[in-house]
Structure 1
Amino acid sequence: MTEFSLDSIAVRTAESRDLNPLDSFIQPFVESGQLLPRTIDELDALLPRGFVAEWNGEIVGFAALEVYSKKLAEVRSLAVSEVLRGKGVGKKLVEACVKLAHELNVLEVMAITANEDFFRSCGFDFTLPGQKKALFIQTRDT
């Protein structure tokens, strides 16, 4: 494997040609329970606001911004190749999502995650100052 440098990672907007490679890329994350399953149509719907990280011409990461309203968006489907975790690739993908939210004038970006330390290192916190906390209930079996 070529020596890694974060500068050698290209983060770009996802394109339709990425659909099948991304589907293959995220499957191990789905199988290990790190990502929710997505149909090919659901993944396709994420592409216009999705970002791909490439290294040596290979997809090594993905994240998408799901915009719910002018007030709220969510970082979705963040995945980084295991061999490149902890090297800044995920942070670059999250930064791309947050930058897009800013360009779209979305006020807040959230992340639902099992890896809170990572998102806190990207500037996220449990709630914004003065805000109420979000509570969830599961409506279906997993």
Structure 2
Amino acid sequence: MEGISDIKIVGIDEKRPPVIRKEPYIDIFFKLSHQAPLDWCKDFNALLSKHPTTPRIKEKEGLYIEAWVRSPDEITALLKQLKNTVAECSRRYIERVELSMRNSNDANALLARQGSGEQGRLNRIIAELDFDDVKMQ
């Protein structure tokens, strides 16, 4: 299975190749190596929200970066910037996941420490309470 750090731009969407048209811009759809998670896509879109051509990923699809350029000469520079943004987005996503895991581990360690002292004694008493019906003799 491919991970977040493996997300890369691998080419152009074959079904939507760039075409010179009457409009003063060229739509270009870059294909990712595999589907990116929703949060990753949101981060990507936020990072590029102020970019003049606002490249973006449809968050539910997570497989194509939709962008545009004014001339073919701009494509190479745009690709370089998008590659850097993909790498930065992956780095941030991994960092957030690791932080979440550390926080979870810290919470588990706190619960384990509560196994001693008064809190631990209280926890054991509560765990041992018997809520079965009383048997009549």
Q: TM-score interval w.r.t. the shorter chain?
A: under 0.3
Structure 2 length as normaliser, TM-score? 0.27
The structure carrying a bigger strand percent of its residues is 1
Larger helix share, 1 or 2: 2
Larger radius of gyration: 2
- TM-score scaled to structure 1, two decimals? 0.27
